[in-house]
Structure 1
Amino acid sequence: MFGPGEIGEPTVSTNTSSISLNWTSPLGEVFKYRLEWHDGGAPKIVYTNKTFAVLSDLIPGTSYTISVNAVAGDDKTEGHRHTFTSVTRPGEIGEPTVSTNTSSISLNWTSPLGEVFKYRLEWHDGGAPKIVYTNKTFAVLSDLIPGTSYTISVNAVAGDDKTEGHRHTFTSVTKPEVVRNITVTNITTSSMSVMWTKPEGNSSFYRVQWTNGIVTGSDNVTQTHKTITNLTAGVQYEITVTAVTDEGSTDGQSASVSQYTRPGEIGEPTVSTNTSSISLNWTSPLGEVFKYRLEWHDGGAPKIVYTNKTFAVLSDLIPGTSYTISVNAVAGDDKTEGHRHTFTSVTKPEVVRNITVTNITTSSMSVMWTKPEGNSSFYRVQWTNGIVTGSDNVTQTHKTITNLTAGVQYEITVTAVTDEGSTDGQSASVSQYTRPGEIGEPTVSTNTSSISLNWTSPLGEVFKYRLEWHDGGAPKIVYTNKTFAVLSDLIPGTSYTISVNAVAGDDKTEGHRHTFTSVTKPEVVRNITVTNITTSSMSVMWTKPEGNSSFYRVQWTNGIVTGSDNVTQTHKTITNLTAGVQYEITVTAVTDEGSTDGQSASVSQYTSK
């Protein structure tokens, strides 16, 4: 008996644990079909009257030898066995663990159940994929682009080198590279700009973070720069810039830079000066300060000092000199500086030296002095008598003050002043009286032993008067605070040179001396007698008076006829008289100039008949 025909080539589909078969019946009749399969071990046999079957409970990734044949109705006559191999699909790998750096992605996974001949890895960044095979459960994908997202698939391959398990597909991103050339610019008290160069490879944005150790800030930017604001002055900030990939969860290595904000500007300083130093006090700016920088100069080489205090004394300065001074705060890096607060201050000029007063008149005086040490641009000369005040600015070291009142004390101060006219040195003072005025022409009355004087006060003030007189010998001097005086105990008939002048309140400054001469009256002649009387003549004789006289005026009269003669002797013979007539004879001593007569002495005598 002939056996059943051979089945047509079956169609096969597999998964990890079964193989599904479909085939066509052979020509002729078939009672049932016999299926046998094994993976090299004991075979399994099943019978079916259908033209399909599912071999189940198989081992993934395993090659099975399968045979299918028809069986005739006697249940023993078999057709030719159609034998072939089929491989179950390997299982899917376990979830891989992934670690990345900038240029590689490292993978580790667990083997699936069943058997695996090798593993297929495929990855791409959107371009042409790369494929590698490995028989290990780990792999390193290298030579990748930093900051790039890769789609990766890993699947097992069966021993037939073509049956593949389900592909486990996922994405992983290489870490971005570190940004380059990070720098900080445009530093102010409350902001700074950080800039950097784009890293190699890819990144989608940059995470900028900053902190001063207390306050922290962060921002994501797509540009390669960021201006950070609302910072505290004079504080150090640690700034980190990190390149981040598209999905925002993969950060590259951070690049860091430290930078202080500029300290704030100091408050307006209070300034006090003397001749050789300038003292400064200021308030600290907002924020933090490490120290302060002070710089000053007078137009030459500057001097610079540092201090951690809010005050300073600039010493060894030149008197009367304008200094440009700047003060600014310095941050803790010892180089970041705040805005320089610049101003000018002037040392006080030194006091003028050797102040003297000369050329004193009734209405003016000249004051002179020596230039002080250091600098000054002009001198302020001020004067006052307590009522009237005057002032003038001069550049010379002398000043003639006019329009003063005679005999008055003036307080004169000279002050060196700097260029801007607002900084005065210590004043030097001197007191001086103007000369009193000259007295008016005195009225004079004399007698034989005294001269009485009356005069008018000069304009201005007078403390007292000085009187001096002499007759050619040693002078006598007296002082009085009255406008009259009597010079007594004088010699009769003597010419006196007299001077009267006003004296000021300092008891030494004198007005112009009004000098004149006055003559005391001569004394009366003594012992006048008449002798040698004749009809036409008589001789008169007398004794010289006390004191001085220069000649004698002899006068005679009979009531009708009068005669006179000046003689220097103490006698005179009068002739050409009329006989028997009474004559009145007077003798008067007269001084040198002939205008001052003493009291006359008289005698009456008749001529003979």
Structure 2
Amino acid sequence: MGKLCLKEKMFLLISSLVLMCSAAEREYFRHDWRNLTWAEARNHCQVCFKELVTVTPENIKTISQNLTSDSWVGLRKNFSSTDNSSMSWSRWADGEPLIFQNWYPGWPVFKSSSAKTFCSCNCPETTTTSFTSFTESTNPDVMNFTSFTESTNPDVMNFTSFTESTNPHVTSFSGPGEDATATDTSSFTADVTDQNGTGYTGPWEFNQNPRPTTAAPAMAECVRSPMLSPDDPETTTNYIEDSCVAMLSFGAWVEKNCAELLPFICYEDRFCGQASVTNTTPESATITWLPGPGDIDLYRVEVTVDGELKQFKTNNLTYDLVNLAAGTHYSVQVFAVKCSRDLNPQDTAFYTTPNKVENLIVTDVTETSVSLSWNEPAGNVTFYLIEVQGGEQIQSSTTGKEIGSLTPGNLYTFTVLSAVGDGSILSEGTDVTTYTKPGKVSDLKVSDNTMDSLLLQWQRPEGNTTRFRVIAMTDSNRVVFNQSVDQTAVKVTPLPMGTKITLSVTALTPSNTLEGDKVTVADYTAPGPISNLTLETTFDSLTATWMSAGTALSFIVELRLDGELVRTIRNLNEPRKRFDGLKAAANYTVIVFTFSGHVKGAPVGRSNVTRLLPPTDAKRISSDKRQITFQWTAPKDGAKVSYSVRIHASFWGHGYSAVVGSQTSHTFDDLTSGTKYTFEVRSEAYGQSSAPAVVSHCTDPEEREVSLSMLCSSAESLLCDKKDTRSAVFTQLEEHFKELLGDNIFWKLEKVAGTQEA
């Protein structure tokens, strides 16, 4: 069941008060200590209360209880000595009709010329239909009196004329005419049929109401008083011309002279009112109340707070309370003071408006919650009410609260109010506005990798977001891209090629003041092609080197022979690879694939032939003075090669060369006899030549003798004749020829036999 608002509570309270007031009881006030005439007593009751008491069967027991003396009540024979328009004892002082009598036997006393039997009854009289006024009525159910004159005798009503009603239900009406006594109801008869068809024939009594009224039937037993003669002196003695009713201590009524001094009984309807509060602020309030009945001396306002009572007096129906404490409960009673007597108080209670909270801030924000904090205001606070944009209300007993179940990335305004009591009294609100943290994007992926760009795509998060921040960084934390976009796909460029790139996407609020948790993904730009691929070969190895651009590169190198894959080297991190154990004179192709992460670059290939193996076992197999025949052995790898041969004589400075195909021997002609020739044979293939196989040999010499004569001269006598000197000269000559001819041609230095050593 929902809470009632303040307006509904006030309505229920006022409704309850109306019901209570409608059922309010009368209060009776005996004045046993003060004796006044009936008129004085009535005047006092009218001033300080409402009226002299009206006695009914319902209140007679209450009124007579503990009554110690005769006391005036609100019944008088005639309220005005000149008032002959009404019958005696017909109404109470407050105007209510006399429907109940409780006369002491023998009362009231009538002045009459004939003996009468009086019936003193303690119950209402027999049902009669009466008129209470004599104004002309347009109602066809009522008889129309055109005129009447009042008699100077108050007990007699004089009718000069009347007309009978045209209502068919009133068949006839008759009366004595002038000088008829009002108490002699038998003098007037009527034959009436009401609208329901119920007939009535009998006495008709005239009062102030032109419509006939029916009193309740008498339920009590009538008691007859003794018959009195018109000349009875006791009757004359007890008759009071201006009489008023006094109640005996046991409740019966008697007549007394209205000028007699007696105690009296007043009555007043219990005063029922309700004070209200308006213009409530933290420091003041205005109290308003209903006016008390009659002449009120003043109003006393009693304010109670924390057991302390303060009183204020005023003659107004409002009072402004000031210097109050904020958020504090005050109880108020307003007493109408009448004749120095407090009437029933008019009650109300209220809270002053609490002060608003201060320094409201947001302390933490998540995707689905916001934490608030504030300072407690001066004065009293029962609790705090937090209103969330959208209508939700949350209570808090502390100066901080986490508000959950919110939508990510949504703008919220939070209003914090101080509350007192049941929360119907609230302070002014203090507002703070903030976004919840946006959610995280999902399904972040990279595609379309090129050498300088990446295509980044993602899905929007739950909740609200309008823009996204995209950042791209290298492994060295260098930011190469930073942009705010409103779509869920962006081409990230320019980027360095062949590089590992870490990309992050963060959802933003419209103000860009609050970011969600970033989501990252790592990928690679495509590598560029390698350059300067070089192949260095030997007869059984190949070394490939190249150049590349990028920081996150790896290589796959393939070695192929005549188109067939021979080897694959993966995850190579340096731009160099040596292949060993290859075939000589084979045409190898090296293909280099560049990878940046998982992104494969364009392949680059180059071919080269391994070095040729030289022929072996080169040797002379025959020679003469003009030719030499050489022979050699083919390389062991069996490669298909041809051979080039060359012969050279260093002494003469000439040589011969030839390509001899695949044969393994060759004869050189037209050579010079006695000359040393150096022979070289090389393997030839793919435009390459192997290292030579070398061997030297001399053609057969054609010997000739050359004589040399030498003349020795010396400064010393007989020096040339010495043997040692001759040997030394020969040795020098021999060394000279060795240096000049060496072993390049055939020569020999000999002494001629029989010559003198001179």
Superposition pairs of residues 137-286 of structure 1, within 5 angstroms: 137-158=317-338, 160=339, 162-211=340-389, 213=390, 217-267=392-442, 269-272=444-447, 273-286=449-462
1:124 aligned to which of 295, 304, 307: 304
- Assess, with a 3 A threshold, how the Cα gap between structure 1 residues 80 and 284 changes in structure 2: closer, same or farther: closer
CA distance in structure 1 between the aligned counterparts of 2:622 and 2:487, rounded to whole angstroms: 87
Distance in 1 between the 2:485 and 2:470 partners? Answer: 8
**376-385 or 80-89: bigger deviation:** 80-89
CA distance in 2, matches of 1:45, 1:125: 40
- Equivalent residue number for residue 543 of structure 2: 366
Aligned equivalents of 1:254, 1:293: Cα separation in 2 = 36
After superposition, the C-alpha distances for 1:574-596 in whole angstroms (9 at most, x for unaligned) are xxxxxxxxxxxxxxxxxx999xx
**Contact 1:90–1:156 (CA under 8 A) maintained in structure 2:** no
Q: How does 1:71-150 map to 2 (within 5 A)?
A: 92=271, 94-99=273-278, 100-150=280-330
The verdict on how the C-alpha distance between 1:461 and 1:84 changes in structure 2, with shifts beyond 3 A counting, is: farther
Rounded to whole Å, the distance in 2 between the matches of 1:485 and 1:167 is 146
Contact 2:273–2:289 (Cα < 8 Å) also in 1: yes
Distance (Å, rounded) in 2 between the aligned partners of 1:104 and 1:168: 20
Gaps of 5+ in 2: 1-24, 54-67, 75-91, 96-236, 242-255, 649-653, 706-743, 747-758
Q: Distance in 2 between matches of 1:42 and 1:199?
A: 53
Q: What is the match of residue 535 of structure 1?
A: none
- What code does the residue aligned with 1:36 have? A
Q: Counterparts of 1:196 and 1:304 in 2: how far apart (Å)?
A: 37
Distance in 2, matches of 1:195 and 1:42, equals: 64
Task: Give identity over the alignment, percent.
Answer: 21
| C-alpha contact 1:93 1:155 (8 A) present in aligned 2 | no
What letter is aligned with 1:311? A
**Counterpart AA for 1:146:** A
What does the per-residue CA deviation read over 1:484-521, in whole Å, with 9 as the maximum and x for residues that have no partner?
48989x96889996735141xxx3344444566899xx
Q: Tell me what 1:508 maps to.
A: 687
Contact kept in structure 1, 2:289 and 2:346, CA below 8 Å: no
Displacement after TM superposition at 1:183 (Å): 2.1
The residue identity in structure 1 corresponding to 2:318 is F
Residue by residue over 1:288-321, the C-alpha shift from the partner in whole angstroms, topping out at 9 and shown as x without a partner, is 2221123344446646321122233333333454
Match in the other structure for 2:642: 465
Q: Indicate which of 400, 419, 438 corresponds to 2:614.
A: 438
Q: 2:275 touches 2:347 (CA, 8 Å); kept in 1? A: no
CA contact (8 A) 1:452 1:484 kept: no
The letter for the 2-side match of 1:362 is F
Identify, as 1 or 2, the structure richer in helix. Answer: 2
Residue 404 of structure 1 is matched in structure 2 by 582
SS at match of 1:169: strand
Distance 2:595 2:524 in 1: 10
8 A Cα contact 2:409 2:463, kept in partner: yes
Aligned residue runs from structure 1 range 376-415, under 5 A: 383-385=559-561, 386-391=564-569, 398-414=576-592
What does residue 681 of structure 2 align with?
Answer: 499
Structure 1 pair 54/147, CA: closer, same or farther in 2 (3 Å)? Answer: farther
Q: Is the 8 A contact 1:21 1:53 kept in 2?
A: no
Q: Classify the secondary structure of the residue corresponding to 1:312.
A: strand
Give the structure, 1 or 2, with the largest relative contact order (CA under 8 Å, sep 6 or more). 2
Asked if the contact 2:634–2:664 (Cα under 8 Å) also holds between the matched residues in 1, the reply is no
Query: In the alignment, what sits opposite 1:523?
Result: none
Q: Distance in 2 between matches of 1:121 and 1:242?
A: 31
Instruction: Confirm or deny that 1:315 pairs with 2:497.
Output: no
Q: TM-score, normalised by structure 2?
A: 0.52
- Given that 1:90 and 1:116 are in contact with CA atoms closer than 8 Å, whether structure 2 keeps it comes out as no
Would the alpha carbon gap of residues 515 and 286 (structure 1) be closer, same or farther in structure 2, given more than 3 Å must change? farther
- The residue type equivalent to 1:239 in the other structure is F
Report the Cα offset of residue 167 of structure 1.
0.6
CA distance in 2, matches of 1:45, 1:366: 138
Q: Relative to 1, partners in 2 of residues 1:323 and 1:369: Cα closer, same or farther, differing over 3 Å?
A: same
1:330 aligns with 2:505: no
Give the distance between the partners of 2:454 and 2:316, measured in 1 at CA: 84
In structure 2, distance between residues paired with 1:94 and 1:156: 10
- Taking the aligned partners of 1:42 and 1:186, their CA distance within structure 2 comes to 72
Residue type at the aligned position of 2:31: L
* Selected match of 2:39 from 13, 33, 36: 36
Task: Say if 1:283 and 1:468 are closer, same or farther in 2 by CA, change over 3 A.
Answer: farther
- Cα distance in 2 between the residues matched to 1:497 and 1:58: 168
CA distance in 2, matches of 1:124, 1:140: 15
Aligned residues: 478
Distance 2:628 2:489 in 1: 80
Asked if structure 2 preserves the Cα contact closer than 8 Å seen for 1:147 and 1:203, the reply is yes
Other structure's SS at 1:120 match:
strand
Measure the CA separation in 2 of the matches of 1:105 and 1:24.
43
User: 1:18-41: CA deviations, max 9, x gaps?
Assistant: 75332599xxxxxxx953326499
Distance 2:29 2:388 in 1: 62
Taking a change above 3 Å as real, the CA distance of residues 52 and 278 of structure 1, as seen in their structure-2 partners, is same
The one-letter amino acid paired with 1:181 is N
* 460 and 259 in structure 1: CA distance in 2 versus 1, 3 angstrom threshold: farther
Deviation at 1:85, TM superposition (A): 12
Change (3 A) 1:147 1:315: same
Note closer, same or farther for the CA distance 1:122–1:337 as it changes in structure 2 (3 Å cut): same
Q: Is the 8 A contact 2:539 2:611 kept in 1?
A: yes
The aligned residue for residue 528 of structure 1 is none
Alpha-carbon separation, structure 1, partners of 2:657 and 2:413? 101
Deviation at 1:331, TM superposition (A): 2.0
Partner of residue 543, structure 1: none
Gaps of 5+ in 1: 1-14, 26-32, 60-71, 520-548, 553-565, 569-591, 595-609
Q: 2:590–2:605: 8 Å Cα contact kept in structure 1?
A: yes
* Alpha-carbon displacement from aligned partner over 1:252-297 (angstroms, at most 9, x marks no partner): 3333322222112222532354443444222222222221123344
1:22 equivalent to 2:32? Answer: yes
2:70 aligned with 1:51, yes or no? yes
Q: Is 425-434 or 374-383 further displaced after alignment?
A: 374-383
**1:528-547 counterparts in 2 under 5 A?**
none
Structure 1 residues 41 and 188: alpha-carbon distance in aligned structure 2, compared to 1, 3 A threshold: closer
Q: Work out whether residues 320 and 375 of structure 1, in 8 Å CA contact, stay in contact via their aligned partners in 2.
A: yes
Query: In the aligned structure 2, how far is the partner of 1:207 from the partner of 1:83?
Result: 66
Question: Could you say what secondary structure the match of 1:388 adopts?
Answer: strand
Shift of 1:78: 9.3
**Matched residues in 2 for 1:79 and 1:244: separation?**
64
Distance 1:317 1:164, change over 3 A: same
Give 3-state SS (helix, strand or coil) of 1:36's partner: helix
Indicate whether 1:354 and 2:532 are aligned: yes
